[in-house]
Amino acid sequence: MENEKKEYLSGSSLERILRAGYFAVTGELGPPQNANPEVVRKKAKVLKGNCDAVNITDNQTAIVRMSSIGAGILAEQEGLEPIIQMTCRDRNRLAIQSDLLGAYALGMRNLLCLTGDHQAFGNHPTSKNVFDIDSLQLVKAVADMRDEKKFMSGDEFKSSEPRFLVGAAAAPFADPLDFRPYRLAKKIEAGANFIQTQLVYDLDAFEIYMKKVRELGLHEKAYILAGVGPLKSPMMAKYMKNNVPGILVPDELIERMTEAGAEWKGKKKKDMTKEEKRARSKAWKAEGIKICIDLVKDMQKIEGIAGVHIMAIEWESAVKEIVEGAGLYPRPVVEA
């Protein structure tokens, strides 16, 4: 990690917490599909104090939503530090750089660089995509703005360059599996200061990945936050296992989820009363949170893991339970 005496890169509270050696917690806040600031404020209030910073998604799954910078400012106003997500799908290098200047001017300090889901997934499948640069090139561009004081064109900043803490994502279990640690190495070499991984449920597989990551010395060059998230139901667990690329869900966890709803076993959804359905869902969700707490506890024991990134979009209240359950509450404050 950076020398203790060195100046902060961005001075964000996430950076200060990571640098101080605390086990960091980040969360996620999905902006609404409308222009209502109250939606963001409400979610921010739920998350505030339970995590050190939150990712504000950028047109997630290619569905148009309030911009990540706009929603990030609202979160910041609520006292919740945002991590602005920026994808390469919707902006070329001019738009990306100018948005970064604007975001920094408005007080944003953390940036997560992503390639972005293809627009075929979203609600504008007939649109044109951009992909002028990819996520690695974006990481380098943002790091170069800060460290070399240069635009992508090579032009120099005369003053006031944006100084972001640069983040990137990692997909430990996507294909080609053997290449994944090396792709992470490329991202860190490009300048990523922190990494958030895709959801991890399979600790054995993750240990194998992390072993390689440590062999490559990557955990010493960037803070790696393991992605975790509470399962809502056995169906969701199965769906993710079978349909979401790069997510492994061990059968053992699917069984734990199924077991949690054992009281209602064999009952068809259409034969159940509203109350029964609600009770079953509650039981599943409680187990999902328990599993997540176990995962967070286990992550704290893995060498090279600097924190967790809790993904509980549209279930923000779960974050508090998980953080408390894992003994990570209250969150530390590191003065600038």
Partner 1 sequence: MIVAEQKSLEEMKALISDAEKVLVLGCGTCVTVCFAGGEKETMIASSSLRMATKLDGKDIKIEHATVQRQCEWEYLDQVADQIKDADVVLSLGCGIGVQAIVERFPESWVVPGLNTTFLGLPSEQGVWVERCAACGECVLDITGGICPIARCSKSLMNGPCGGSEDGHCEIDKDVECAWQLIYDRLAAKGKLDSILKLQPPKDWSSSRDGGPRKIVRPDLRFINEELEE
Q: Which of 33, 64, 182, 235 binds partner 1 (CB under 8 A)?
A: 182
Measured from the CB atom, is 86 or 141 closer to partner 1? 141
Q: How far is the CB of 233 from partner 1 (least distance, A)?
A: 23
Structure tokens at 84: 């602005």
**DSSP helix/strand/coil, 172:** coil
Query: Does position 210 bind partner 1 by CB under 8 A?
Result: no
Q: How far is the CB of 126 from partner 1 (least distance, A)?
A: 14
Q: What is the C-alpha to C-alpha distance for residues 240 and 295, in angstroms, rounded to an integer?
A: 17
CB of 10 to partner 1, least distance (A): 22
Residues 6 or more apart whose Cβ sits within 8 Å of residue 295: 200, 201, 203, 228, 308
Interface characters, 220-259, with partner 1 (x: CB under 8 A):
-------------------------xx-------------
Choices 21-29, 31-39, 132-140, 230-238 (CB under 8 A): range interacting with partner 1: 132-140
219 belongs to the binding site for partner 1 (CB under 8 A): no
Residues 6+ apart with CB under 8 A from 115: 87, 88, 89, 131, 134, 135
Please report whether residue 115 would count as binding partner 1 according to CB under 8 A: yes
281: phi then psi, degrees, rounded to nearest 5: -60, -40
Query: Among 121, 277, 282, 324, which residue sits at the site for partner 1 (rule: CB under 8 A)?
Result: 121
Q: What is the DSSP string of 196-240?
A: EEEE---HHHHHHHHHHHHHTTGGGTSEEEEEE-----HHHHHHH
129 binds partner 1 (CB under 8 A): yes
Tell me, what DSSP letter sits at residue 157?
P
Q: Give the N- to C-terminal CA distance of the chain in Å, as an integer.
A: 18
Burial of 153 (0-12, 13-18, 19+ CB in 10 A): exposed
Rounded CA separation 30/43 (Å): 9
Query: In this chain, which of 1, 171, 279, 313 binds partner 1, going by CB under 8 A?
Result: 171
Q: Which of 76, 78, 117, 276 binds partner 1 (CB under 8 A)?
A: 117
Does 61 help bind partner 1 (rule: CB under 8 A)? Answer: no
Site for partner 1 in 66-105 (CB under 8 A): 88-89, 93
> Binders of partner 1: how many residues, by CB under 8 A?
37
Half-sphere exposure of 323 (CA within 13 A, CB side): 28
The only residue of 25, 133, 310, 311 in contact with partner 1, by rule CB under 8 A: 133
- Based on the shown chain and the rule CB under 8 A, indicate whether residue 174 belongs to the binding site for partner 1: yes
Q: Which residues make up the interface to partner 1 (CB under 8 A)?
A: 88-89, 93, 115-118, 120-121, 129, 131-137, 140-141, 152, 169-171, 174-176, 178-179, 182-183, 185-186, 189-190, 198, 245-246
